[in-house]
Amino acid sequence: MPGLIPKLFWELAADTWGAEEKAAINRVVESGHYTIGAEVAAFEKAFAQYHGRKFAVMVNSGSSANLVATAALTHVKDRPLTPGDEVIVPAISWATTYHPLQQYGLKLRFVDVEADTLNMDTSQLEAALTPQTRAIVGVSILGNPAALDVMRAFADEHRLWFIEDNCESLDAELPEESGGKKTGTFGDLSTFSFFFSHHISTGEGGMVLTDDPELNGLARAIRAHGWVRDVPEGADLFETGDDIFAEAYRFVIPGYNLRPQEFNAAVGLEQLKKLPAMTEARRKNLKHFQDAFGKDERFIIQRENGKSSSFCFTMIVGPASGLDRDAVFGPLKDAGIGFRMITGGCFPRHDAVKYFDYSSVGDLANANMAHDRGFFVGNHPFDLSAQIDKLHDVLKKL
């Protein structure tokens, strides 16, 4: 039909829902309760247990999870973030890693990434530190674990808050020599996304994990209008009143409506059951990709740090390769292979940065190289041998 986008041989993302997810949606429909309730509570409990964390707060997107995490740290009793405080961030991530920080008046300190892992270069943390530094945001890019143990130790040493943006790297694991822990277990607050293209999909959805009762209570209040009815006992955020009528609509901090629906959580419960098998399939594809391109010196591919959960396959056209990135894109289009920018590229290159108070450590050479010469193709939780082989055949002809 005219106007329809033709299906590619290799799409950037794929549907992972089956009969179980459809049955879960029907279960919610039959219940007649669609807004946040028992399904959300069950998914929060299961997701927290999967990561060995005490508390999970589901929201309507990973971007909202980052907003909740930032907002919560502006309301803590001890060391709250205030306008003008500095936050160390990697130069490459998705835009909504950064936007909540700007919206709360914080100054960003951009640090370059490593060319091979695409994660923050932790050797530059000391150079990024100033007397105004109050927090670090650690991002594991596209399934590849960042040096989260190093960031956590640095944050502890300097009494900094540590936000872990794990929206792209659910189920990844650090190297054994770094403890082998899952990503998402290092932050004072750790965030996740369940968008269509991510490791599990609830359509739209996100999660905040924490072990701190105060942060859990704040996150729950911020998620739902800033009112008290979702704040658990023991959070110690406010004095409980005796007037039940008034307490039901009592607002204690500025909040939003970032609540998920029961549909999202019901699907999330089914997707979480499938996650180990889906991650294993992604890792098998990653091994095939590494075998195909690991020795091709024209391209820089991600060096795996620990056990990647492999969101996708990144490629940077090496400056010494003699190739121009546009010369790669044409054959990929002709072969029906989808491709796109590496996350959001080097964020200081975007127009939105004019609204930010920020500075950079050095010239961000690697982030700029990835921005100008990098791209990625998709990984999916099923066998992609034919797709990877075709990619190899296309690129070896260049």
Angle at the Cα of 350 from the Cα atoms of 344 and 355, rounded to 5 degrees: 120
Strand partners, 261: 35
Active-site residue, selected from the candidate residues 51, 75, 198, 380: 198
Q: Where are the beta strands (DSSP E) in the chain?
A: 55-59, 86-90, 107-111, 133-139, 161-165, 189-193, 206-210, 299-301, 312-317, 358-360, 374-378
CA 263 vs CA 35, 39, 259, 260, 283: distances in Å: 8, 8, 12, 8, 29
> In terms of Cα–Cα distance, which of 136, 191, 135 is closest to 168?
191
What the block records as the tokens of 22 is 């459809």
Query: SS3 of 278, please?
Result: helix
Q: Is residue 75 flagged as an active site residue?
A: no
Q: How many CB atoms lie within 10 A of CB 50?
A: 17
Structural contact between residues 268 and 44, judged by C-beta atoms closer than 8 angstroms: no
Is 277 exposed, middle or buried, given 0-12, 13-18 or 19+ CB atoms closer than 10 A?
exposed
Pairing outcome for strands 55-59 and 206-210 = antiparallel
> Do 111 and 91 form a contact (C-beta atoms < 8 A)?
yes
Which run of H or of E encompasses 291?
helix 262-293
Identify the DSSP state of 182: B
CA distances for 391 relative to 115, 144, 197, 305, angstroms: 22, 21, 20, 24
Query: Which residues are marked as active site?
Result: 198
